Amino acid sequence: MAKATHDLTVKIGEYTTYDGQKKAQWLNIGKVIQRDDGGEFITINRHFNPAGVPNVDGRDTIAVSKFAITPKEVPTPQANTPAPATNPVPPVNNLDDSNDISF
């Protein structure tokens, strides 16, 4: 099964944090996908228009950065912390399955 390995991003600006640090503002424009056979391909979001990327140096090209996708950490409960109370809600069975959308 093909798997996304990297995000493709472009720098679209900068901002200043509350403590005065300058940070880059990034726009995710696509992904690098690795196939089962080891080959790779990229997907680019259809709404992305490279003409909208700031051109401060007057270049004819833009830089696209590639960042590895890392799994998000799931927080683990701390010792001596009670588990959250559960209040199960019965399922609603009156939904019409004919309106399901699949991609």
**DSSP for 85-99?**
P----PPP----GGG
In a domain, 36, yes or no: yes
| CA angle centred on 26, ends 9 and 61, rounded to 5° | 55
Tokens read off for 87: 């209040």
In a domain, 32, yes or no: yes
Given pLDDT bands bounded at 50, 70 and 90, which one contains residue 26?
A: very high
Give 27-81 pLDDT, tens digit per residue: 999 999 999 999 999 999 999 999 989 888 888 899 999 999 988 776 666 666 6
Q: Given this model, what pLDDT does residue 70 score?
A: 86
Q: Given this model, what pLDDT does residue 87 score?
A: 54
CA separation for the pair 96, 19 (Å, rounded): 51
**Burial, 29: exposed, middle or buried (Cβ in 10 Å; 0-12, 13-18, 19+)?**
buried
CA separation for the pair 75, 45 (Å, rounded): 31
Query: What range does the domain containing 38 cover?
Result: 1-69
Q: Given this model, what pLDDT does residue 57 score?
A: 85
In a domain, 89, yes or no: no
Mean pLDDT of 1-19: 93
In a domain, 51, yes or no: yes
In a domain, 48, yes or no: yes
Q: How many domains does the chain have?
A: 1
